[in-house]
Amino acid sequence: MLSTLGGTLRVVYGEGMRADESGFEIEQQQGGWTVRMWWPTGPVTGGPQRITIEPAADAPARDVARGISTTVLRRLDLAAALNLAKMAPQAQSVLEDAAKALTESGETAGLLLANEGVSERYLAVLSFTYASMADMGAVAPVRRLAKLIGRKPETIKDHLKRARREGYLGTIAGKAGGELTDKTLKIIESMAVSKG
């Protein structure tokens, strides 16, 4: 817990997040308001990707009756929250584990490409790894994937285009990465079952 500009900060792991999201929240109390700032699993390189402001459980009705004021917004201490996010040891451990898993996933894609060519399994693992890297905010995920797979970035871009055409990876307007399709998830799941 950290005091800041008349409020407090604390790290909240998993609270208030849907089960399909991986990340952590920093919670701040500002007067009668609870502010939650969410970062995805991955390197903390900037501010939160989501901010939620709700009345605090014990807030007097008069404090929240007029809604969120500009004063509440000005008092948000994003710098302190960012510093806490970067220092949170449990978050760091999660980030390291996620980075390791993505590296392994990229290397698996490289092995699949070498052994099977541009197969269904390769396109599924490539799509999964690319979408996960983008969701984590990785800088230049195509370049990183190319390095892990041992191919040129242009080749990986072509493979990702093919993955989209063949229904392994959907697009999300204005966002790098994409949405994994049921087709991809079934292949990844079958690979995990046969591995375990």
59 and 144 within one domain: no
Q: Same structural domain for residues 191 and 100?
A: yes
Report d(CA 125, CA 188) in Å as an integer: 7
Query: Under the phi-then-psi rule, with left for phi > 0, alpha for psi from -120 to 50, and beta for the rest, what region is 151?
Result: beta
- Residue 191: phi and psi, rounded to 5, are -70, -40
Q: Please give the pLDDT value at position 90.
A: 67
44 and 106: one domain? no
Instruction: Say whether both 105 and 62 belong to one domain.
Output: no
Q: How many residues does the chain have?
A: 196
Indicate whether 38 and 107 sit together in one domain. Answer: no
Each residue's pLDDT tens digit, 21-38? 567 788 888 888 999 888
Token pair, residue 5, equals: 């500009």
User: 67 and 122 in one domain?
Assistant: no
Question: What is the CATH number for 125?
Answer: 1.10.10
Mean pLDDT (the chain, rounded): 83
> How far, in Å, CA of 192 to CA of 125, rounded?
11
Averaged pLDDT for residues 102-107: 93
- Greater pLDDT, 19 or 84: 84
Domain count, the chain: 2
- Supply the range of the domain harboring residue 137: 94-195
Phi-psi map region of 172: left, alpha, beta (phi>0 left; psi -120 to 50 alpha): beta
* 81 and 13 co-located in one domain: yes
Give the count of beta carbons closer than 10 Å to the beta carbon of residue 34. 18
Please tell me whether residues 188 and 104 are part of one structural domain. Answer: yes
Among 87, 106, 140, the domain boundary falls at 87
